[in-house]
Amino acid sequence: MITILESGKDTTATTLKMVFLMLAIHPDIQERVHEEILRVCPDTDQFVSMEDASALSYMEMVCKEVWRLYPVGPFVGRVAAQNIKLDDKHTIPANSQILINFHHLHRNPSTWGPDADKFIPDRFLPENCTQRHPYACLPFSAGPRNCIGLRYAWLSLKIIIVHVLRRYRLRTTLTMDRIKIRFSVVTRILDGCPITLEER
């Protein structure tokens, strides 16, 4: 439990920063999220239940698109337990060390189209996900070694977004083309993340 809480603080804070920045850059999307919040849990001081959080489907699409473009953990390392045949010409030998770059995987135009660098939450509409490989987007990794804090991350993220957007409108002078990121253990924005809050 301590591992989940401690490692989850920085990753959740980083994700929240990116979600709020994307909403500030895209006011139309911010308003759609706000409208959904008003339908599900409109009272400013209303408790956000697990059922409420589950009903915030558009907010979830927004978060998934943030994780696609700005995965908190940009890389993951693995060791091949056996030979992995990729195609007729390429095989990864057993015991090879593999570094998976989520940042590039999530922006691959052959999967995500020519607008892969754009912020479009509707990519995660159910009908748009059916034709896509389930491992095309891996913000929490996948398989037996995926992130153990997945459920905690989803719940805490949605609750905080609800409380902020019920009270404030987010604004920024930053634009998508001016965002510069640095890869380390956690993805970071260079040169700050200017967001202002305006009471609704």
Residues of the binding site for heme: 147
Q: How far separated are the first and last CA of the chain, in Å rounded? A: 37
Residue 37: CA atoms inside 13 Å, Cβ hemisphere, count?
A: 24
Rg over alpha carbons for the chain, rounded to the nearest Å, is 18
Closest alpha carbon to 62 in 111, 24, 107: 24
CA–CA separation, 184 and 70 (whole Å): 12
Q: Say if CB 164 and CB 20 are below 8 A apart.
A: yes
Binding residues: 147
The continuous run of DSSP H or E covering 78 comes out as strand 75-79
